[in-house]
Amino acid sequence: MCQVDEAYHDDLEQEKVSSVSKKCVKCKETIAVVAIRAGDQYCRDCFEQYFLHKFRATLGKNRVIFPGEKGLSQNAHKKLRFVPGIVYIDEGGALNRSMEERRQTVAKLKDIFIATGFPFHIVPLEEVLDVPGSVLAMAPSSSPTQASSDKASVDRFFCNNSCSCLTPEQQQQQQHETSSLYVEESQTQLLQQLLDSSKTLTTKAELVSVLRQHLLVHTARCEGYSKLMFGDNCTRLAVKLLISISLGRGAQLAQDTSFSDSRYGDIISLRPMRNYSAKEIAYYNHIFNVPSVFTPNLHTKSKEKASIQCLTESFVTKLQVDFPSTVSTIYRTSEKLQTTCKSSSSANPCDRCLLCMCSLDTAVENASAFQSTLISERLCQTKCVGANSASFPSQNTELRGPSTQCCSKGKGEYCDRPMEDRGCCSGVRVPDTTDIRGLLCYSCQLTIKDMSSVDCLPQYILSEAQIRQRRSRMREEISDFLLD
């Protein structure tokens, strides 16, 4: 049996430490300061060039910016020169943060944004409650030919900006004054009421993600931008892929993790940093002293098993420690995914999900797993309702389907007419869970199912649901007169 005091004990315990005096793999002259992977060591200057070139190459390879778009210079030659803007969504209202804490965070971010010289927009999440219903209406996308025809208008735009009477200092001061955080307390209460209707942290996180996306699209349209660039890296996308599968978004994986997403038509979502790992970004921020501000989210200080999002992220990061190729394997798999559904950019508005705006994946055959799930759910609901009716016969309850239940439910009276009937006692009603579920994809149906009530949803979502229902009923009425 080996003894710890023997002579060879020091040799067994000694670990191989990588040398820090290795030369840079690119210039082969300067000592490397960062090691991204085994054999990939860079000096400071070469790492900066590598990092910036990777970003530009990703945009250039995918050809997502065409001549004539807002922000593209008319003298650009083989370079992507556009004027970016920064949008920060303040989610303090969803976290029950005080207004003073939110203002302090915004003040720190303002200093960073002003130093960049880019136009910035600070938008509280509460503003999503007042966005118009057009955010759910896909606007037609502009083609490269159309963009080229509008080049004269873009040139006039740059000319007008260059001839502006305001100095850069005055423009910054004007933007500083107009970007102050102001939120009404009633709006914050409505937002918290919406999130409190969620039974689980998983559902609450999905709701915040959907509302944030809608608000970003609305802000981009209002400010005249046609692209939304997100900072999702490959580590985050690997986690997101597994989360989406766990939440039943298998049909939408290609759109949720791809480089380009055109589900909103005129506003295209881009992920130009999807080829970076979280390690590379952390090294870059540390070496070049990139300022940062910590902003908490719903998962801050939460337990590992608090939600599907937390559990999946913990699983991937822990697996990455022992198996360094975990993230890259998952990420490369996502690149090969393609959806069999109709493209969201060309699909009928009524054939897209009311929340995530992806093509509906519920139009499947009767022998599918989705239909089996629906049948099991209906049987369970029927048994539960029957048991409750037998236990409380004095309430004189009646099993009513979604088409026979009066719209005046909750007032203690019924008119015994179907809700779709024009002679119902109430002309305007708020659609319930059963009504909305037919307008959602499978994953969003699970999100709505975990909510205690849909009455707290923003009005633009409820209004769009009513519009789609009316159009669907109208189409059914005239279906005999329509050509296939």
Q: Are 138 and 349 in contact (CB under 8 A)?
A: yes
Kindly state the helix (H) or strand (E) to which residue 41 belongs, with its residue range.
Answer: strand 40-42
- For residue 232, the model assigns a pLDDT of 93
- For residue 420, the model assigns a pLDDT of 44
- Maximal CA-CA distance, the chain: 96
Supply the angle between the helices 326-335 and 234-246 in degrees, to the nearest 10: 70
- For residue 451, the model assigns a pLDDT of 93
Query: Which pair of tokens denotes residue 235?
Result: 């580590």
Q: Are 353 and 248 in contact (CB under 8 A)?
A: no
- For residue 141, the model assigns a pLDDT of 64
Domain 63-351 has CATH 3.40.50: yes
Scored b (16 or more CB within 10 A) or e, 431-455 reads bbeebbbbbbbbbbbbbbeebeebe
- For residue 84, the model assigns a pLDDT of 85
- Ordered by start, the domain boundaries in the chain are 63-351
Q: Are 250 and 206 in contact (CB under 8 A)?
A: no
Say if residue 194 is exposed, middle or buried (CB neighbours under 10 Å; 0-12, 13-18, 19+): buried
Mention every residue, 6+ apart, whose C-beta is less than 8 A from residue 142.
150, 226, 266
- For residue 268, the model assigns a pLDDT of 92
- For residue 427, the model assigns a pLDDT of 43
Distances (CA, A) of 240 to 6, 116, 311, 327, 331: 51, 30, 12, 11, 10
Q: Is the dihedral of CA 360, 361, 365, 366 positive or negative?
A: negative
Mark the ranges of the chain whose per-residue pLDDT is less than 50.
1, 4, 8-15, 17-19, 68, 72-78, 80, 143-166, 177, 343-346, 391-405, 407-423, 425-434
Mention every residue, 6+ apart, whose C-beta is less than 8 A from residue 311.
304, 305
- Strand blocks (E) in 308-366: none
Q: Are 48 and 70 in contact (CB under 8 A)?
A: no
SS3 281: helix
* β-bridge partners, 319: none
Query: Which pair of tokens denotes residue 173?
Result: 């001061």
HEC string of 243-309?
HHHHCCCHHHHHHHHCCEECCCECCEEECCCCCCCHHHHHHHHHHCCCCCCCCCCCCCCCCCCCCHH
Which of 431, 361, 484 has the alpha carbon at shortest distance from 475?
484
Query: What is the tens place of the pLDDT at every residue in 398-430?
Result: 333 344 445 444 444 444 444 444 445 444 444
Distances (CA, A) of 237 to 36, 37, 324, 367: 19, 19, 16, 33
- For residue 384, the model assigns a pLDDT of 67
Mention every residue, 6+ apart, whose C-beta is less than 8 A from residue 79.
none
